Amino acid sequence: MADKIHYGPYEAQCKGGIPSNAVTKTNSETKETWVLYIPTDKGALFHTSTERYVIGEGGRGSAKSTTLRWDAHLRNLMIPGHRALLLRRTFPQLENSHFAQAMEEGKMLGCSRDFNQTKHFLEYNNGSLLKFGACPDDSYVLSYLSQEWDWIGFDELTTFPYDMFSRILQSARIPKSKQKNDRKAFIRAATNPIGEGASWVKRYFIDKSVDRSENAKYKKEEWRSIKMNLVDNPHMDKEEYEQSLQMLGSDVLRRAYVDGEWLVEGQFFSEFKEKREDGRVWHVINEMPRMLHEDQMIPIVQVPFIEITRCIDWGYSEAEPGYCAWIAHLPDGTALVFKEVVFKQMIPEDVAGKIIEMSRGMRIRRTVGDPMMWAEREGRSIAHHFASKGLSMYPANNDRENGWVALHTWLVSTYDDGFGERPRMQFLSPQQGDWDYGCPYAIRTLPSLQVDPKNPRDIMEGSGVEDHAADALRYWASNWPAPSRLPNKRDSLPAELREIVYGGQDNPEGVLR
């Protein structure tokens, strides 16, 4: 029995005795015991989770970062030769949240050497290693790609763009020499629910709504989230800490840090809503509108007089793909984004052929493209290659500020069709069993884009920012899209179609319904 016990911040949890899952250190000479770590209930759940990807998410003061670091410690202590990598975006962030604690914990855990303050790692007596790293930009990612790690932890995951996260994941692998007893590499993370990556983190870990067009290998059963808020942390003076959080000037920050609410701070398209607060469908519709034509109900986009514009943002690489959207101009002055394609590592002729194939049966009004597609550097332009395949285009107006205003206007303005207001611009969600229609990429990426703090009238750009759908739609909105014209002669239409288009005497204006 120890003569003296040092509880540190864990005294409240030891009133009935030191819990069995506590990590302690006893000095046999002085007979003193130090309680080094006791997980919260949510932390214990985090440590025992078996899914490959697990995140502790919630407001501040919930011991998320401490739980993440100790998850690495525990695995390193239990598994000889275990290699763990803990990442934040910058080294100053690591210094403020982990270095001082790691130095002290390393000494108490009996690591073979003191914390290396130059290379930022701890070596354990059993040959395990905990390395701290930063990723301020893509050049740092490359330094991790040739390495192998049994465990990779991301602290404040929402500060990482998805492209950076996904590339670093390639280093989470077990070498063949260690592949026994079904051992596998794990990804662990902790985060507040706000930041540039909040949208993708929420989709992957919380909603588990990743579309196959985004990630064909995504398996939702491999991803787990554990909610951790201030109320779950018995080591914290909750009242004092909560008062300090209430002093935050931003309502968005208060909701994220206090309540753990998932938010994208500084949304560029803050008006974009899949549904309204009352649950009514708004910018995203779930069913393709249809119309009776030649005794058949057909998609409205295949009706002969409905004109469609295609808009293209050029791209080639995995990180910077290209994008094309199909937008139907309806006679009532509204627009429907109903189809899209994201293309990667495809030459212009193949992209053009794919777009032509995907447009069969439609009445294409025009195709507007990224102006850089007309650039001629050391050969023919991308637009020239498109034209050689039979796809002619118009260069889009590339005035960013006015283009964003035009797109905002389409998203904000409404139209009353007699059944209530609806936005003038709507997007079709993927159709179950029919992947010919739907625009999941646009629906997913528009809400994730943030305002550029240096220029509030523009989108914040950078590595991993998925602005390709937004740029394509900006090209479309900048070119003054007009509604499709109803046929001039009623007799040129079948009686059934005349009734639907014109509505008889009760609809003299010929409003589509």
Indicate whether 247 and 299 sit together in one domain. no
More confident residue, 34 or 112: 34
CATH classification at residue 449: 3.30.420.280
Length of the chain: 513
494 assigned to some structural domain? no
Q: What pLDDT does residue 246 have?
A: 58
Indicate whether 221 and 160 sit together in one domain. yes
Q: What pLDDT does residue 473 have?
A: 97
111 assigned to some structural domain? yes
The tens digit of pLDDT for each residue in 264-274 reads 667 889 899 98
Indicate whether 163 and 226 sit together in one domain. yes
Q: What pLDDT does residue 2 have?
A: 60
The structure's pTM equals 0.68
495 assigned to some structural domain? no
CATH classification at residue 116: 3.40.50.300
Catalogue the E-assigned strands of 344-424: 363-369, 394-395, 414-416, 421-423
Indicate whether 58 and 83 sit together in one domain. yes
Domain count, the chain: 3
Indicate whether 356 and 482 sit together in one domain. yes
484 pLDDT band, cuts 50/70/90, is confident
The answer, yes or no, to whether residue 154 has pLDDT greater than 90, is yes
279 assigned to some structural domain? no
Indicate whether 106 and 154 sit together in one domain. yes
More confident residue, 302 or 335: 335
The tens digit of pLDDT for each residue in 161-177 reads 888 899 999 999 877 66
496 assigned to some structural domain? no
Counting other chains too, the contacts that 318-325 makes at CB distance below 8 Å and 24 or more residues apart are: 318/344, 318/345, 319/163, 319/463, 319/464, 320/468, 321/468, 322/346, 322/351, 322/468, 323/441, 323/468, 323/469, 323/471, 323/472, 324/351, 324/355, 324/472, 325/439, 325/442, 325/469, 325/472, 325/473, 325/476
Q: Which two tokens stand for residue 508?
A: 């003299």
312 assigned to some structural domain? yes
The answer, yes or no, to whether residue 463 has pLDDT greater than 60, is yes
Indicate whether 82 and 134 sit together in one domain. yes
% of the chain surpassing 70 pLDDT: 85
More confident residue, 210 or 130: 130
Q: Which of 197, 224, 259 is the last residue of a domain?
A: 259
Domain of residue 30 covers: 1-38
% of the chain surpassing 90 pLDDT: 43
Indicate whether 110 and 9 sit together in one domain. no
Query: In this predicted structure, which of 241-245, 293-297, 506-510 has the lowest mean pLDDT?
Result: 506-510
Indicate whether 99 and 27 sit together in one domain. no
Query: In this predicted structure, which of 65-74, 225-234, 333-342, 434-443 has the lowest mean pLDDT?
Result: 225-234
Indicate whether 29 and 143 sit together in one domain. no
493 assigned to some structural domain? no
Q: Which two tokens stand for residue 90?
A: 């910058």
Indicate whether 16 and 45 sit together in one domain. no
Q: What is the DSSP annotation of 390-411?
A: T---EEPP--HHHHHHHHHHHH
188 assigned to some structural domain? yes
Indicate whether 234 and 301 sit together in one domain. no
Mark residue 71 as left, alpha or beta (left: phi above 0; alpha: psi -120 to 50; beta: remaining). Answer: alpha
Average pLDDT (203-212) is 87
Q: What pLDDT does residue 62 have?
A: 77
